[in-house]
Structure 1
Amino acid sequence: MKNILIPTDFSENAWNAINYALALFKDEKCVFHLLNTYTPSIANSRFMASSIQNGVVDATHNNSINGLQAIVKRIKEAHDNPNHSFKNISSFSLLVDQVKEIVAAENIDLVITGTKGASSFDEVFMGSNTVRIIKSIKNCPVLAIPQHYEFERPSEIAFATDFNRFYTASELEPLIEMAKTFNAVIRIVHVQYEIKALTELQLFNLNMLRKYLKDIEHYVHTVSELSSVSKTLEVFSKELDIHLLAMLNYQHSYVELMTRELVIKRVAFHTQIPFLVIPELGMEAPSRKKNRKEDQFLIDS
């Protein structure tokens, strides 16, 4: 059974992410952890009565609980899938802190969040909350769903890499599982500022990547960089009708590069498709599936 965490602020953008998640996993048994965090604005005045402060917190807390209950009711009216169950989490805390805590406590397999895209300098890369989650969550993949994106079966997946880093089986597990579930083609895309032959290290990493993907139809695309890596991936995804863009998040990765270049150039990453960010786990990280089997053995015994 999968554990999926979906933060929500009760906006239509967040509802769109929930809809996508329900459609993506409609044939799998899942527990969806619906999270709403709240931090009510309370004047920091020693003259304000504590009873008034408590009243503000209580009202905000009730609004959060009622909002989550309304979301579950809306879900069951629209989908009513016996494979799916729901757990509501209302928390007086900061979003990223609570996401990190739940990921660890509930063995979360995937965090799915809606993103409005850039609306100001502070939200230059997919929305500030999404970026904070991506940068802070080190042990769980994050799937960002663009505003207004309607679910489409991800039969074409792009995996962007520069081949400068060796990928482990545990890191590639979310990508491979997604491809196998939807019988998808994986298009490995390498963006180069200047087209040139791969180094020995890059060739080794490419060959290892292809071994991991041996049971999945896949192709390698080397493309010339346009004005930026982000723009290049946008154009590539559009031209090849990609349904999901995936990247591994590590030091000097495309994720880090795109975040930096977008801030510097004051431009937005206008991807219109879901964006899967896979965390760096390292060589010693065990498979999450293996962990589940061990956990089940302990329970059964």
Structure 2
Amino acid sequence: MKKILVPTDFSAQAENALKVAAQLAKKHDCEIHLLHVLEIPLHEVDALSTYNNLPEAVYFMKLAHKQFLELKSKDYLNDLVLHEHVEFHEIFKGVFHVCKKQDIDLVIMGSNGSTGFKEMLIGSNTEKVVRTSETPVLVIKNEHKNFKVKDFVFASDFKDESKIPYKKALKFAKILGAKIHLLMVNTPTKFVTSTKANNRMKKFAKNFDYDKHTINIFNDLNIEKGIMNFSQSIEAHLIGMSTHGRQGISHFFNGSISEDLVNHAKRPVITFKI
């Protein structure tokens, strides 16, 4: 892990994510890329145009640079390599483009979460990034003065399609020195016997060389509650899941457990694209 991207709107929530990024960067010798998104159509921004033709774009670009300077002067960012980026896209497109261009290893975002009609109709910016990002996304809800991950819950159905995201999760766990708790949640509508679940999970784990793991089957009313309740029961520091990146009508009807967790879980959540 060498490059961390932190999208920021210069809010307190975004700074919570930046503080975690700073801790990881200092421990693992990473660069931090800061991204601010201006929702101004790209075709309106022309470097050859005069100031008078683009007063709004120029004003907000100068304001963003000023805010970057103020942010980078924070004591907790001392001695770190920092880069600033301004994109003229929606947030999830801006994140995608910077990740590709800069070869980003991890995105860290702050979030308050969304509920009710706001969640159903427009979703949060963080949720959109989680849905579309090919780079792992770590979502931070609160300030962490000392971000340590000793217990890392990875929830899955442990079928073959989960091997790729779990391989990414293992890479992250090894960097952090974390113990992984493999979790399958049993629900009334998606019931699997303990014997079948155990066999599937043990077979899955044999594909990977990582002894610091446990196998857990947890019963609950639905998968989201099961993940949160199990994580609370062991006082986990991080929840990890894969995401399909569903969009459009398929996403509306099928939903996404990982996106629900991003909105509702109090603990940090990290997602890995299948």
Do both proteins adopt the same fold according to a TM-score greater than 0.5, normalized to the shorter chain? Answer: yes
Within the candidate set 230, 239, 243, 1:236 is matched to 230
- Within 2, Cα distance between the matches of 1:183 and 1:78? 23
Counterpart of 2:26 in 1: which secondary structure? coil
Within the candidate set 93, 99, 124, 1:97 is matched to 93
* Residue matched to 2:137: 142
Q: Are the structure 2 counterparts of residues 55 and 125 from structure 1 closer, same or farther at C-alpha, using a change threshold of 3 Å?
A: closer
Question: Aligned AA for 1:157?
Answer: F
Deviations 1:12-54 (A, max 9, x none): 110000001111332212111100011259xxxxxxxx97762
Shift of 1:79: 4.1
Question: Aligned AA for 1:57?
Answer: A
- Within 2, Cα distance between the matches of 1:112 and 1:268? 12
Q: Are the structure 2 counterparts of residues 29 and 142 from structure 1 closer, same or farther at C-alpha, using a change threshold of 3 Å?
A: same
Gap runs ≥5 in structure 2? 42-49
Deviations 1:72-128 (A, max 9, x none): 111xx22424xx311100223221111111111111111111111125522369961
Question: Aligned AA for 1:59?
Answer: Y
Question: Aligned AA for 1:153?
Answer: K
- Within 2, Cα distance between the matches of 1:234 and 1:173? 22
Q: Between Structure 1 and Structure 2, how many residues are aligned?
A: 258
Within the candidate set 210, 224, 246, 1:215 is matched to 210
- Within 2, Cα distance between the matches of 1:122 and 1:187? 33
Contact 2:152–2:181 (Cα < 8 Å) also in 1: yes
* Residue matched to 2:44: none
Q: Are the structure 2 counterparts of residues 251 and 100 from structure 1 closer, same or farther at C-alpha, using a change threshold of 3 Å?
A: closer
Shift of 1:173: 3.4
TM-score in terms of structure 2 length: 0.82
Q: Are the structure 2 counterparts of residues 93 and 196 from structure 1 closer, same or farther at C-alpha, using a change threshold of 3 Å?
A: closer
* Residue matched to 1:153: 148
Counterpart of 2:160 in 1: which secondary structure? coil
Percentage of matched positions with identical amino acids: 23
Contact 1:163–1:203 (Cα < 8 Å) also in 2: no
Counterpart of 1:26 in 2: which secondary structure? helix
Gap runs ≥5 in structure 1? 42-49, 281-301
Q: Are the structure 2 counterparts of residues 25 and 124 from structure 1 closer, same or farther at C-alpha, using a change threshold of 3 Å?
A: farther
Shift of 1:220: 1.0
Instruction: Within 5 Å, give how 1:1-150 maps onto structure 2.
Output: 2-39=2-39, 54-74=54-74, 77-81=75-79, 84-118=80-114, 121-123=117-119, 128-137=124-133, 139-150=134-145
Q: Are the structure 2 counterparts of residues 240 and 7 from structure 1 closer, same or farther at C-alpha, using a change threshold of 3 Å?
A: same
